[in-house]
Amino acid sequence: MAFGWLNVWWTSESENVELNRFKNIAPTCWEIEPTGEMRVPATIYATKELVEEMDSKVYEQLCNVASLPGIVGKAFAMPDAHWGYGFPIGGVAAFDPNEGGVVSAGGVGFDISCGVRLLHTGMKLKEILPYKETLADLLFQGIPSGVGSQSKIRLNDFELGEMLCGGAQWAISQGYGDSRDLEYIEENGVMEAGEPSAISQRAKERQRPEMGTLGSGNHYLELQEVREIFHPDAAKSFGIELGDAVISIHCGSRGLGHQIGTEYLRLMLDAAKRFHISLPDRELACAPINSEVGKAYVGAMNCAMNCAMANRQILTHFTREIFRELFAQSQLSLVYDVSHNTCKIEQHMVHGKSKRLFVHRKGATRAFGPHHPEIPEKYRAVGQPVFIGGSMGVGSYVLVGTQESEKLAFSSSCHGAGRSMSRTQATRKWKGQEVIEGLRKKGILIRSQSLRGVAEEAPEAYKDLHQVVHAAEISELSRRVAYLTPHICIKG
Amino acid sequence: MKFDAQKARWEHFPHGADVGIRGIGATLEEAFEMGAVALTAVISDPEKIAPQIQVSIEIREVEPELLFLDWINRLIYEMDVTKVIFSQFKVKISKEGLVAQVRGDTMDSQRYDLAVEVKGATMTELKVFLHNGLWMAQCVVDV
């Protein structure tokens, strides 16, 4: 596609991380001692092989994060860490507002509260197989997906304001789902501190046609089968058994979150200058949590989280309606809904003291261990469900948070596989139709409005999800519960 | 906008999961125009998009790199809100900022292969500079 020469002379050099830059604490724990501007150490949790494959930019970006004001503990990178913008993707960092801590729009990302929700169909896959093609077609017709897609929902100003404050609770009050769903969404489906006045008219306009849409890129809705169980107690608690058919939905806060991220990144660039915060990379633009801009961003970001949770709730409703068309008695229950681009206020122990911290997770999932009060009662004995999305040919994992993760990384785990190949490289290597045919032979039906989009998302363009999850388990960030294989993929 | 293969051109450069866009031209305006074509090329083939619908854009920013960032972000916003994908760009840059006329067509997946949305322009690899007599304007966009 690109014209002329491919010259990367004008871009920063990137190479793989050198192991001798770390102190190897444990087989999957690589520590960077604080040097230069770093205020705290940094740690990457990954196997030797994964660290060796990581771009040196991950190292650089993690050190930059460790130099931000008010950071506590350490800056962390999860096993799926890769070169992001400002923060590495797979980065976790907590800031104390009482120690001049900052909040960073880049530390959350453009797709605020992007996340995964898992629904149980109440059926075994073998019951669905005879209707697989029909179900794929109905899902593709009924789930607005891909670039420019819109649903029939149009919110007026009042409804938009209600949605921004009410999240999934608002969606349910509008008839999109059941109030029983709320217990199985982080924060019961609503961030209470949403502040619509901190959001521009442009952000609201961008969202207006996009409620109940999946988006594009790596977003998807999949029918999957529970293929393997690793942790029978947790699987039992989550209500999943071998052969069960489940639905995974991966998407976020759509245009609203993208616009909030864009605008606050710019505002924080000015704020950082005003507060004399030295930025090794402009993308780390941030503001003190207690500043006007910092507070406004937190209010706007909470609204974007509400938007993402409302969006996934609406998509759940659409999915349930489609299932009822084919299976009149179907009852799709929500297993859980987790976000992986967030900044949340949480209590954590730091040097023996309980502190109220602003925990940034960019491409990382909260993973509370057993007995945490924020976990639904039904799951409390085993820990919080964590969903790790893979490519359309590989599938996903269900993990569970561990007690150890609190000490290791403020109760966090990984979020996905990450790309091993650029989109341009992927389209040079594969044709969309070939990818679709190849997956069909494996029993995976792909529905997408874009053949180029399918080629860009080819399974081989992603890293090995199994290695990432394995590293998360041996690091004790989380434990494997189940492996889910794809059968239908509605590709955004 | 007249395309001159020797001078004005666009390209993509790799950045992990995302895409770097770069516009190159004899003037700053051309580099900005080509950077915009590179943005559209992330989504679809710009040469296939009919220039039927026109939108005017005005941005006030004096710093060239931030102006390029704002330009790309504004195009992303306009495409998302109007559901029009742009393929032709005419930019005028002054001391106050830029004014532009951009043209494109409705995002219709039946007519165009629309691969992926762009969420926003980042400050990663954000650079505007003169090299060997050619202007370069570039940044990484989040997809």
Of A359, A360, A368, nearest to A338 (Cα)?
A: A368
* Lowest-pLDDT choice from A9-13, A128-132, A189-193, A229-233: A9-13
Distance CA B131, CA B125 (A): 16
Residue A58 within any structural domain of the chain: yes
Is residue A189 within 8 A of residue A170, CB to CB? The reply is no
DSSP 8-class letter at A182? G
Nearest CA-CA distance, residue A453 and chain B, Å: 4
Nearest CA-CA distance, residue B123 and chain A, Å: 5
Task: Give the CA distances from residue A239 to residues A119, A185, A234, A242, A245, in Å, rounded to whole numbers and listed in that order.
Answer: 11, 16, 8, 10, 12
Cβ-based neighbours of B30, under 8 Å, separated by 6 or more:
B1, B7, B8, B23, B24, B135
For position A125, which CATH number holds?
3.90.1860.10
Torsion angles phi and psi, residue A448, rounded to 5: -155, 150
Pairing state of beta strands A478-491 and A445-447?
parallel
Is residue A87 within 8 A of residue A68, CB to CB? The reply is no
Residue A447 within any structural domain of the chain: no
pLDDT at A5: 34
Distance CA A248, CA A492 (A): 13
B14, B69, B116 ranked by CB distance to A217: nearest: B116
Instruction: Please judge whether B12 and A1 are an interchain contact, meaning their C-beta atoms are less than 8 angstroms apart.
Output: yes
Determine the Cα angle at A84 with ends B37 and B98, to 5°: 35
pLDDT in tens, A351-389: 899 999 999 999 999 999 999 999 999 999 999 999 999
- List average pLDDT for each run of 10 residues in chain B, which is 143 residues long: 65 87 97 98 97 97 97 97 96 97 96 96 95 95 94
Residue A453 within any structural domain of the chain: no
Chain A, 71-130: which have a CB under 8 Å from a chain B CB?
82-86, 89, 106, 109-111
Cβ-based neighbours of A237, under 8 Å, separated by 6 or more:
A378, A379, A381, A382
Domains of chain B: 9-142 (3.55.10.10)
Q: Report chain B residues whose CB lies below 8 A from the CB of A261.
A: 119-120
Measured on CA atoms in the order B64, B68, B73, B79, is the torsion positive or negative?
positive
Q: How many domains does chain A have?
A: 1
Instruction: Please judge whether B77 and A425 are an interchain contact, meaning their C-beta atoms are less than 8 angstroms apart.
Output: no
What SS3 state is found at A253? coil
| Residues of A involved in catalysis | 415
Is residue B65 within 8 A of residue B127, CB to CB? The reply is yes
Measured on CA atoms in the order A198, A200, A205, A206, is the torsion positive or negative?
negative
pLDDT at A7: 41
Is residue A367 within 8 A of residue A386, CB to CB? The reply is yes
Distance CA A369, CA A105 (A): 27
What SS3 state is found at A269? helix
pLDDT at A66: 98
DSSP 8-class letter at A488? E
DSSP 8-class letter at A462? B
Nearest CA-CA distance, residue B44 and chain A, Å: 9
Residue A11 within any structural domain of the chain: no
Distance CA A492, CA A116 (A): 14
pLDDT at A11: 63
Instruction: Please judge whether B109 and A422 are an interchain contact, meaning their C-beta atoms are less than 8 angstroms apart.
Output: no
pLDDT at B2: 45
**Mean per-residue pLDDT of chain A:** 94
pLDDT at B105: 98
A258, A422, A452 ranked by CB distance to B120: nearest: A258
pLDDT in tens, A234-267: 999 999 999 999 999 999 999 999 999 999 999 9
Chain A, 431-450: which have a CB under 8 Å from a chain B CB?
449-450
Determine the Cα angle at A287 with ends A282 and A290, to 5°: 175
Instruction: Please judge whether A265 and B14 are an interchain contact, meaning their C-beta atoms are less than 8 angstroms apart.
Output: no
Residue type present at position A119: L
- Domain of residue A486: give its range: 25-420+462-491
- pLDDT class for A13, splitting at 50, 70, 90? low
Residue A431 within any structural domain of the chain: no
Residue A376 within any structural domain of the chain: yes
pLDDT in tens, A92-128: 999 999 999 999 999 999 999 999 999 999 999 999 9
First to last CA, chain A: 22
Is residue A43 within 8 A of residue A77, CB to CB? The reply is yes
* Lowest-pLDDT choice from A11-15, A253-257, A482-486: A11-15
For chain B, give the longest Cα–Cα distance.
Answer: 42
Task: Look up residue B17 and give its two tokens.
Answer: 């999961």
pLDDT in tens, A35-86: 999 999 999 999 999 999 998 999 999 999 999 999 999 999 999 999 888 9
pLDDT at B18: 85
Residue A247 within any structural domain of the chain: yes
Residue A365 within any structural domain of the chain: yes
pLDDT in tens, A409-422: 999 999 998 888 88
The fraction of chain A above a pLDDT of 90, given in percent, is 92
Q: Does the pLDDT value for residue A4 go beyond 50?
A: no
Nearest CA-CA distance, residue A250 and chain B, Å: 14
- pLDDT class for A309, splitting at 50, 70, 90? very high
